[in-house]
Amino acid sequence: MPAPLLTVRDLKVVIGGRHILHGVDLEVAASGTTALLGRNGAGKTTTVRGILGLVPRTGSVLLDGEETVRLATHALVRRGIGYAPEDRGVFAALTVAENLRLAERPGAREPAYDLVYELFPELRQRARQAAGTLSGGQQQMVAIARTLLNGNRLIIADEPTKGLAPKVVTEVAQVLERAAEAVTVLLVEQNLAVVRRLAQHCAVLADGRTAHRGPTAELLADADEARRLLGVGRAGHGGTVGTPARTGTPARTAAHPAAPTAEADV
Amino acid sequence: MSTVVLLTLTGLGLGALYFLVASGLSLIFGLMDVLNFAHGALMSIGAYATWWAASGHLPGAGSGGVGFALAVLFGTAVGTAAAVLLELAVIRPLYTRPREQILATVGVGLAVPALLSAIWGADARPFPGPEALSGTFGLLGAEVPLNRLVLIAAAAVVLTALHLFLGRTRHGLVVRAGVEDRAMVTALGIDVRKAFTLVFAIGGAAAALGGAIGGLYFGSVDPAQGTSLLIFAFVVVVMGGMGSLTGAALASVAVGLVQQFANYYTTAGLGDLAVVVLLAALLLVRPRGLTGRLA
Amino acid sequence: MTTATPPRDQPRTAYHPHAARAGQMRRAARWWPALLLVVLFIAPYSALPLPGLLDGPIGSPGNLQLLALCLVFGGLATGYDLLLGRTGLLSFGHALYFAAGTYVTNTVMLEAGLPFAASALLGLLCGVVLSALLGAVSLRVSGIGFSMVTLAFAQAGSILVQRDPGGLTGGEEGRAAPADKLPASLVGIEHTANLYWLALAYLVVVVCAVQWAVRSPTGRVWEGIKENERRVEVLGLRPYGFKLAAFVLAGGLAALGGIVYLLLTGGATPQTTTSDFTLSLLVMVVLGGSGTRWGPLLGGILYTWADHRLGDLADSGAVAGLPAVVRVPLSQPLFLLGALFVAVIYLLPGGVVRLPTRLRAARAARATRATTDHVVTDHVTTDHVVTDHKEVPRP
């Protein structure tokens, strides 16, 4: 197996005197999709924000062998990272086109608008619309489009399917699946069907630490382990999670979006 | 009728002055969450630099025509430089300590007027201006001083220029995005600190220009001028919504007019009082709606 | 007096290798406030000169007046820090409550002809009621909004005073206090010592009140509010009431200070109503050390002393001989204080009062490095410049 693209060692985050992360270890494989899993509050989003330097952190974050923990966020991102945050980070008062233009990196390679508009034809039609007036799914498309514009080496997507309608979940998953053919993806996701479909590898966090690392299929096959780590009530039953999602059509995934998720949000 | 015309134009002139100070304050607060207490000092620096140049100290500059334009340009440039220096030397090292940033600007806001009065005295100095701008013009029976028009024109130019900058340039785009969500701007690979310095430069330039032209309006410069204007500029910024340029422009006009009319038709001073009470009332009724970010 | 009560918690000194000596020091430190109080109390009897610090003997009326001012501002700053350092409220309108004490007392004496004691009581009451009313309104918004509303209210007060409605306030000139209404023992240059003791008493009252309040259960809630208001809410407490209590207590103490100031300066002047007055309180608190017991007091004394003495310094021969580049800035106390303030923010976070601790820590660190210089702990200081500070950590 080739060297991982991103190696996180002993990542610790303390905010306002509270220890949020106690030492997270994580590898993002050089290709394909790695999923970051865990129950709510396990520290998934903080891990991502810590990797990017959006929260003060200590430890080691190696991007392709280069230590980045001392870099400012913008400098790290310019080394080839696209980030679609949990709240989508779309600038509501700006138009769709302006949101995309912000992701351009002058001096770097030509922005890949062809790819973006091919994947999201809707965004071309809505280019002049204020992003705040878009639906949740459309905003997510803007967020993902921004990560695809730059020929990044790594895309970090934090719960891209959260709160979306089943049909849109499928669309987003399809786009990510296609993106992952060319780019490495670190995916934070609660929807296990999506995880199963996209991610070859996974890491599970619990209480601000890494609790498990390994192939996704192995984890999800072990019902007891999956339940213990992810708190999935019906993980082993009924076959919803057991359904081999890779063979399942997108339509089927979309038909039962709620059943296989570990979505504990209220 | 002539009184109303005069009051309106004077109020608009005053509003223009407020806008020149408030536009920068608003952008700076919107982008950086820094309430810049040194902004009045930047205005004073602009006023004094212009006065200094126009009094014949700067070759080529003077009190008339082109010379005065050069003096105003010089004053604006000095104010801009001071603002950039303030951002780089005082604000930037304190990025992780937002409250200290405000306190540091308080310190600068105290020190600069004191320095100005140490060098040129605490008393007001007569402000030289071109003959052409010292006269009045007749409008609907009122004799309106020309300097009101100069102020209004300057504010209109600045408003237009800022709109073009924010709407048409990439730097402007970064500023608008940063007002919404700074962290996300950096997460897109943009060094938002450059935008910080930029808005300080822009804000300093506008305030210094306000100082330079405000000298015409007041007819004199004194070290405390900028600071006493600052509170009304704060009122404008809060009323207009922190970070909103159009809001600041509208609020400037409203504050200027209310002040002039209330001061004239009721007791002197009641207008100033009305404005600050209005601020308190507005904040209490719509703490979030006004600014979106305040409460 | 409560100042003499030994401090319960020890100053956060760095680990000291000589435990025995530290114990001795601690025992000595326990009594220094009492000792200081005694020294301050007998100061008027002293003919000792403090060259450089004061002009002439300590007990001279001029020096006593300056010392009394220092003490009053030490008390004012301590009261103001109840908001800034203890509850985390950045008020820009503290001058209003101070001025309420001064102006109401003075105006009642002048206009209603009431004796001083009754007028002072009214002045204090007015300060308390005003801070309760305006605090109740201002505290409905938080963060910088609160600062702006307090600023607006204080500015309204300042404008009102300067416009001299009905000739009540005396406008720009202010109004002198009526000597015939004041107690005879507090009027005149020969009674400066009495005024000095009054100022000292005010300081002691403020320090005791603040200490008592901070140590009370309410004080612990204030601390919680300062650190994280939302966490206090989670505990089922409403921060609003607690913040209002701090605001009113601080306002009342400021009004009391205003009354003492009226006696001390013999009149009410509009300078005490301006936002600059509040800003100078802010400078004092930060200079000395916000949120500490003695910091604001020290800051108030230092600032007031510097403000007066730097003015004298500017006129002195020593400065007159300097080149203009140095002389001109030195002639303005406010410039020096402003610059000093900025310097303190950078170089001395925590204020002057933290200086000994920092020096000790630095010395200890140097000693540690000397012995174990191969151990390098990797304290990565991340440059999270753009992180939104208001953000609540997300799990």
Tens digit of pLDDT per residue, chain B (295 long)? 778 888 888 889 989 999 999 988 888 888 888 888 899 999 999 999 988 888 877 777 677 778 888 888 999 999 999 999 998 988 888 887 777 888 889 889 888 888 888 888 888 888 887 776 677 777 777 777 778 888 899 999 999 999 899 888 999 899 888 888 888 999 998 988 888 899 999 999 999 999 988 888 888 888 888 887 888 888 888 887 777 788 888 889 988 888 888 888 877 777 788 887 777 777 777 665 444 443 2
CA dihedral B27, B33, B34, B40 (to 10 degrees): 40
The Cα-based distances of B125 to A44, B208, C2 in angstroms read 63, 17, 53
pLDDT tens digits, one per residue of C287-306 = 888 888 888 998 898 888 88
Q: Cβ contact (<8 Å) for B189 and A77?
A: yes
Examine residue B266 and state whether it is found in any structural domain, yes or no. Answer: no
Q: What local confidence, expressed as pLDDT, does residue B42 receive?
A: 92
Q: Which structural domain range is residue B130 located in?
A: 20-223
C280 located within any domain: no
B242 versus A208: the higher-pLDDT residue is: A208
Chain C residue numbers with beta carbons less than 8 Å from the beta carbon of B107 are 283, 338-339, 341-342, 345
Q: What is the pLDDT of residues A8-22, one digit of tens each?
A: 888 888 887 778 888
Both tokens of residue A97? Answer: 């086109």
Q: Are B29 and B242 in contact (CB under 8 A)?
A: yes
CA distances from C321 to B166, C308, C324, C325, C327 (A): 52, 21, 9, 12, 8
What would the two tokens of residue B43 be? 């205005």
| Per-residue pLDDT tens digits for C119-138 | 889 999 999 999 998 888 88
Q: What is the mean pLDDT of chain A?
A: 80
Q: What percent of chain C has pLDDT above 70?
A: 80
Nearest CA-CA partner of A52 in A152, A119, A138, A197:
A152
- The residue of chain A with its CA nearest to that of B177 is A91
Q: Is residue B176 part of a domain?
A: yes
Which amino acid does the sequence have at C86?
R
The count of other CB atoms within 10 Å of the CB of residue B219 is 13
How far, CA to CA in Å, does C301 sit from each of A29, C37, C250, C272, C327? 63, 14, 18, 17, 25
Residue range A49-104, pLDDT digits in tens: 999 988 888 888 888 888 888 888 888 888 888 899 988 889 988 899 899 988 88
Range from A116-120, A217-221, C27-31 carrying the lowest mean pLDDT: C27-31
List the single residue in B with minimal CA-CA distance to C279. Answer: B106
Residue C61 token pair: 């009326």
Q: Where are the domains of chain A?
A: 6-87+152-255
Any CB–CB contact under 8 A between C230 and chain B?
no
CB spacing of A56 vs C387 below 8 angstroms: yes
Among A33-37, A151-155, B210-214, C63-67, name the one with the lowest average pLDDT.
C63-67
% chain C with pLDDT above 90 = 16
Report for A160-169, C35-44, C245-254: range of highest mean pLDDT: C245-254
Q: What's residue C14's pLDDT? A: 46
Q: How far apart are the CA of B27 and the nearest CA of chain A, in angstroms?
A: 15
C380: in domain: no
Chain B partners of A75 at a C-beta cutoff of 8 Å? 191
Residue C72 has a pLDDT of 93
Q: What is the pLDDT of residues A108-156, one digit of tens each?
A: 778 888 888 888 888 888 888 888 888 888 898 899 999 988 888 899 9
For A21, phi then psi, to 5°, come to: -115, 135
User: Does some domain include residue C351?
Assistant: no
Give the residue-averaged pLDDT of C171-192: 77
Nearest chain C residue to A53 by CA distance is C384
Mind telling me how many Å the CA of C82 is from chain B's nearest CA?
17
Torsion of CA C165, C170, C174, C177, to 10 degrees: -110
C309: tokens are 């003495």
The residue of chain B with its CA nearest to that of A88 is B184
Check residue C52 and give its pLDDT.
67
- The pTM of this model reads 0.78
pLDDT digits (tens, 9 = 90+) for C370-395: 655 443 333 333 333 333 333 333 33
Range of the domain at C82: 58-274
Q: pLDDT at residue C317 above 80?
A: no
Kindly report which listed range (C4-13, C77-86, C335-344) carries the lowest average pLDDT score: C4-13
Asked if A62 has any chain C CB less than 8 Å from its own CB, the reply is: no
- C-alpha to C-alpha distance for B3 and C345, rounded to whole angstroms: 50
Amino acid letter, residue B205: A
d(CA B266, CA B262): 5
Give the pLDDT confidence score for residue C26 in this predicted structure. 65
Chain B residues with beta carbon closer than 8 angstroms to that of A52: 187
Q: Please tell me which of the candidates A75, A92, A102 has its beta carbon nearest to residue B188.
A: A102
Q: Note whether B294 contacts C141, CB cutoff 8 Å.
A: yes
C392 within some domain = no
Identify whether C186 is part of a domain: yes
- Asked if A16 lies within 8 A of C382 by C-beta distance, the reply is no
Q: How many domains does chain C have?
A: 1
CA distance A238 to chain C (A): 31
Residue at A80: amino acid letter: G
Best of A40, A47, A58 to mutate (most C CBs within 10 Å, chain C): A58
Q: How many domains does chain B have?
A: 1
Round to the nearest angstrom and report the end-to-end CA distance of chain C: 49
Closest partner CB to B187 (pick from A52, A105, A150): A52
CATH level 3 topology of A6-87+152-255: Rossmann fold (3.40.50)
Q: Distance between alpha carbon A109 and the CA centroid of its chain, in Å?
A: 24
* Pairwise CA distance, residues A127 & B98, whole Å: 36
